[in-house]
Amino acid sequence: MASENYKTAPQPETTTSWEKEAARPPVAPPRSPPSSHVALVDVVLRFLLFALALVAVLVMVTSKQTEIVPIPFYPFQAPASAKFTHSPAFIYFVAALSVVGFYGIITSLVSLFALLRPRSCPKVVSHFVIFDVLFLGVVAAATGTAGGVAYIGLKGNSHVGWRKICNVYGDFCRHIGASVAVSLVASVVLALLVLLSIRSLSKRIPK
């Protein structure tokens, strides 16, 4: 009777190692740093921004031309010079592009450092996108201001009696036009940098 009432204890279930691994919840893979190609493009664009700003400033500050023009006492003539310092818009343009050029070379070095140390990229990119948007507005404002004054010099404005001067100061106007065109390219580069930074940050948002 004792043998009939005796019940053996259940044996513990044995699981293999691969079954234990299968039962574990999947572990999300660690987030990888941004692609080196994206970081390299960022470095190249920032150095290009510095080069474009430097060229725009140099072309603008060398825009000087002296011509013999009539004076109110006919038929006398006198030499008259055209310089970028004669227009507050051009002075603002030079100041703005100088700051942008300095920003471009500094961020080029920082971006190169981030390329060599990818773990620091998230903080760098988050700061870059703020300043990129800020300086994009600065370059756009400077380009629009200088371009508006240059257009008046090229075409004049008969409604308010502003005469065109590019028929007299041709070299001066060519310098101004080239500088404004280069700054326009610089604004496009800044827009690309903003898009690149936003794309890098969007990839880090958890889905």
pLDDT 10s digits, 104-128:
999 988 888 877 776 655 566 667 8
Residue with the bigger pLDDT between 15 and 44: it is 44
In a domain, 10, yes or no: no
Residue range 34-43: mean pLDDT, rounded: 74
Q: Is residue 24 part of a domain?
A: no
pTM here is 0.75
Q: Is residue 142 part of a domain?
A: yes
76 lies in a domain?
no
* Domain interval for residue 100: 34-63+88-202
pLDDT for 182: 96
The pLDDT value given to residue 186: 95
Query: Which residues contact residue 1 at a Cβ distance below 8 angstroms, ignoring those fewer than 6 apart?
Result: none
For the chain, the domain total comes to 1
**Is 118 part of any domain?**
yes
Closest CA to 145 of 167, 114, 176: 176
Is residue 44 in a domain? yes
Q: Is 126 domain-assigned?
A: yes
Query: What tens digit of pLDDT does each residue of 39-82 get?
Result: 788 889 999 999 999 999 999 999 888 776 666 666 666 677 88
Q: Is residue 49 part of a domain?
A: yes
The answer to whether 170 and 153 have CB atoms below 8 angstroms apart is: no
